[in-house]
Every structure is written in structure tokens, then in C-alpha cells.
Structure 1
């Protein structure tokens, strides 16, 4: 990775890599940079689009959050749980024989993990397909992963999203969909489920 400065996250990563006794390859560095770009820009932008769609589709919810701003953090956690964002699943390879939900998995087999499905698990959530901003906190969603795989930018994303939604609620009080919800077109053949456009009026 040449031609990159030492400022910022990628620059520091490149600098550390050059001094490592087990440096990453150029391809590995490029893949990390792409992952950081998608995670830091694409995923938050996609989630904001879904939040905007929910508010435009449900003026009563938008009005409540506008007049009851203290409800927004809890509503945001429910939106993280309820929103379906991954068009595909996270892939893992089983390292040893196991049984998952009564299904045998052999070592070396591909396993697809769906965070969206876990966030709608009826064993954990009552009426899991219903968006309910009054669910008793904390809402145990897995949008940011868990354990050693927990997203290091979760707090940043929560803060950014809350500020963006407050601005949307305050500056566009009459926001509503300009088309029927079923007319929203969704991007095809993409890992993240995102609307192509959200026609609105206010």
C-alpha cells in the first residue's frame, strides 16, 4: 500500500504493517480498507435510509418522537433490532462437528448466520415482526455483533444516527411517503438491503 500518508486510521495501519514482523499483503490491506469503508459509510447510510423510510411511512410514530424526544434512544434500539439489512448472511466454516437447532453440522461445512433472523427470534422477542418502540429495555439485538466481534464503532453510530434522526424530525415535520410502500424499489444483487429511492413529500 504505497502513496498513503500516516494520518488517519488507514495511514496508521499501513505504518504499523511496515514495521511488523508478519506484515499483511497488499491485497489484505486493500480488503481491510474496503471493509472499513463499507462499514463506516455504507452501513450507516443504509440504516439511516431505512429509518427515514419508517418515519415517512408512519407519521404517527414520527409525531410521537418529535414531541417525545426522550423516546428516541429506545426507538433507535428497536429500529436496530427490527430493520432487515443484510441481503445475504454472514458465512462461517464449522471447525468441528456440532449440532445447531437439531441440525448436524460437520467440520468444514459452510454455515450461514443471519443477524436479522436472530433479531426476530420469537423465543426472545414477543411479536418479533412488530416494530414496538415501547419494548422493555435493553433490547437485546445483535445489530452490532457480540463478544469479541462487537462493532467498535457502535457508540459512534448510535450518536450519529440519533443526531440525524432528530434533525430529520425537527426540520421536516410533514414528512410522508409520496408512493405506496409496496412501490418502493429495492436494490438488487447487493449484500445490504437498501431502497433505490424513497419518494417523499412534506
Structure 2
């Protein structure tokens, strides 16, 4: 069973639909025992960092996430909340990845919305993926490139398109909205 963490951030249903199309059962939950007993955990999100972190803390999900031992995939806001800190709402985050989340410099083309490729890829999530293939992004904040970065995208500045530390994986892009390449990335995670 795959647990999709419910924490008042959008996008959970589209992730669940993508899993169903791949033939996997999932449950949307904020129950600690269900999350910790799942075979895989997905931490999706569309929203604002400080309110999302406040909700995680109110429900004790911040501690639950840190206790997960099975593979976990953060998506978009999920990746950002797995970092140390976000400029969005001056927010202390979960601290899994030793990275700060920053607002893109002022530019007529922020937010970064639409299809973009990678400048480099490595790691298990990107197996079978080339730098020239596009994935779908929607974000105004980005995680800096650090030792946890497994794929880089260039948009105004280079940023972490995907990250990994131990059993924790994350993508800034939305694999569930990235057509065939996103399906491949989700499948790579689900087959861990």
C-alpha cells in the first residue's frame, strides 16, 4: 500500500489518479500508523510553505515524516518542506535536505510554469531519463543546488529539480503531470 500524506496542500488527487493508472493502490491519510506501515509514502503539495508547515506540526506529521524508514517521495512543495528553511513565510522546514528554499529573482517570467528539461541528472529516479526530456513545473520558489541534488534545472538560476538523502526522494517538478516521462519517474520510485 502507498500512503499519500494529507496535509491541506493541493494535488493529492492527481497523484492518486496517476498511481491508480499505474496499477497501484493508495490511501490519502494523515494517520501516523498508516503512514509508517505503508510500503511507500508520497508527500505531494501545492500551496504555501508556512501554512503547510503549521498544519504538519499541528497534526504531528512533521515528526511522523522524520520517522519514515520506507522510500518517500516529496513533490513540489513536498520537496521544499523537506529542506532546512524556506524564504516563503520565513519558514523553518523539516531539515531532511541541507538546502534553503529561495524566491526566484524578480523576473517577468516568474512563476516558473510549464515544461523544462534538466541540465544534469543522476540517481535512481532519473534512470532511463535524458537531460533533453521535459517535465512540468509550477513554482515561484526553488531549492538551491546542494550535495543532495540528483537533477538540476536551469531557470533564471540553477536549482534542484530532484533531491535524495537515504530513503527520502523529492522532485520540484510534478511527475504526475509530466506525461510519459513523469510516469517513468513515478515507476522508478515505485519499483525501489
Higher radius of gyration, 1 or 2? 1
With the shorter chain as reference, the TM-score category is under 0.3
Structure (1/2) with the larger strand percentage: 2
More RCO (CA 8 Å, sep 6+): 1
| TM-score of the pair, normalised by structure 2 | 0.22
| TM-score of the pair, normalised by structure 1 | 0.21
Structure (1/2) with the larger helix percentage: 1
